[in-house]
Amino acid sequence: MAEQKSWQARISEATDALAQDFVESISYDNRLYRQDIAGSIAHAKMLSKVGLITEDEEVSIIAGLKLIQEDFAAGKIALDKSQEDIHMVVEAELIRRIGEPARKLHTARSRNDQVALDLALWIRQSSMEVAKRLHDLCRALVEMAGRSTEIVMPSYTHMQRAQPIVAAAECLAWCQMFKRDADRCATAGYMTTTNDSPLGSGAVAGSSMPTDSAYVAELLRFDGPPVSSIEQTACRDQALEMLFALSMAAMHMSRLAEQWVIYSSTEFSFIKIADKYTTGSSMMPQKRNPDMLELIRGRCGCVYGDLMALLTICKGLPIGYNRDLQEDKRILFRAYDTVMSCVTMAAAIVSTANFVKENIEPTLDRGFLDATSLAEYLVTKRIAFRTAHQIVGSLVAECEKKGLKALGQLKVEDFVVAATSRGADGSRIGKDVYECLGAANVVKRYKSAGAAGGEPLKKALADWHKKLVAPVGVEQTIEIEMG
């Protein structure tokens, strides 16, 4: 007679193959074996502490679980869909190895609180892995910034030329985004708003057994035992927090990819990425396509979809566990895998990319990038900024009318006349006006905190080198208690 499932005594008919394949999750939740075993070890210690199993049974259970973990890691455990999920596979394997003591392990525990615990432990560990990978991307961007401190380039707002910047500043701007992503992932992994252990909640209402959930929480490094057994078994807030953090990271990578797809186009040619991160065309032999960047940009939409999928599942559920929540792992694992592969690829691309100075510099006389610098110069000559803004606007129009490409091509008298025509005192304008004109001069004059050139940029780059001594957003990886 085939072995019955743990719940099958109540059901008169055996589950048919179609239903079995439909409900199983072992094909994807098997990656939770470490977390499931860690939770079971903690549970066994608690059962022994309160006298629900003997010390000898505790020793036997824990020894068996550790051997199962070793065999899982070595790929020696056969995954049986008839057992449905990782929890039942581990339990069946433990019963096969040590017999009756294994049948006592599920005392005062449900698969409902087991899966909530496993997922929380997996998120704790995996969120740190994402944060560390984002740290690698930050490192690559800081190194690129170090290679780009002598390159002046235009910045853009509304996709129109704005002000000149040092190229290194743009690298650090991306870095700042990914630092926040790393911090956000780390926070999702060890939530300060809800970090209670699910284990002890049981199926929904807890247990009448004399358990010690606080002891389990301490072993597994949670803040405390369940506050509400009803809520804890069906809470997926932490999974949603992580999905949001992953979505933000994917969005920032998509923005970087979009920027660099533009920069690497023939029309811009501002950035050169390594050939190994491009592909050719099956028809056009001249093509050098940034396919990896385009895929990073495209896969962002998949991560968004995963966030919306779990939000949608959760929105229609009554309180307490419902089987719909089995899909949380499929969704979260998929988003995690997508982001991990994308951030790894992004770091590899950045580490080999360079701004192309010889292509950028000839373009700096286009777009009057020094217009704001000239307005600020006029402010130092006691002209109100709004008036200075109008003066410079009229000078740009004059340049365009005369066919001049740069404000620096105007004479001092032109600046004085423009100021006077706007009712300002232009007598203080002198030859020093040329010191604020030209992109190279402008970036040296920046003084405000976080500015894209000058001393603020030097300080920012130095600060980033200090930050990279330790992983961004990660003080330490929280290991799961195993013994």
What are the per-10-residue average pLDDT scores of the chain (483 residues)?
Answer: 51 70 90 96 98 98 98 93 91 96 96 95 95 96 98 97 98 97 89 78 95 96 93 93 97 98 97 96 93 98 98 94 94 98 98 98 96 98 98 97 96 97 96 97 97 98 88 44 43
Residue 103 maps to a domain: yes
Among this protein's residues, is 281 annotated catalytic?
yes
Among this protein's residues, is 158 annotated catalytic?
yes
CATH number for 26: 1.10.275.10
CA-to-CA distance for 390 and 117, rounded, in angstroms?
A: 63
Q: For the chain, what is the domain count?
A: 3
H or E stretch at 370: none
pLDDT, residue 80, reads 84
Residue 483 maps to a domain: no
CATH number for 401: 1.10.40.30
pLDDT, residue 468, reads 84
The three-class DSSP label of residue 77 is coil
Residues 117 and 202 in one domain: yes
Q: Which two tokens stand for residue 243?
A: 């999905």
Residues 50 and 117 in one domain: no
* Catalytic residue chosen out of the listed positions 265, 281, 421, 427: 281
How many Cβ atoms from other residues are within 10 Å of residue 283's Cβ? 6
- DSSP per residue over 260-319, as a string? HHHHTSTTT--EE--GGG-B--SS-TT--B-HHHHHHHHHHHHHHHHHHHHHHHHHTPPS
pLDDT, residue 475, reads 44
Residues 122 and 101 in one domain: no
* Catalytic residue chosen out of the listed positions 12, 158, 208, 282: 158
Residues 36 and 169 in one domain: no
Q: Whole-model pTM? A: 0.92
Those residues whose C-beta lies under 8 Å from the C-beta of residue 152, and which sit 6 or more positions away, are 164, 165, 166, 167, 360, 361, 364, 439, 440, 443, 453
Structural domain of 213: 112-362
Residue 309 maps to a domain: yes
Residues 137 and 248 in one domain: yes
pLDDT, residue 360, reads 98
CA-to-CA distance for 178 and 249, rounded, in angstroms?
A: 7
- Residue 2, classified by CB atoms within 10 Å of its CB into exposed (0-12), middle (13-18) or buried (19+), is exposed
pLDDT, residue 5, reads 57
Q: Which two tokens stand for residue 433?
A: 């006006």
Q: Which two tokens stand for residue 78?
A: 């056969």
Q: Name the domain boundary from 362, 380, 414.
A: 362
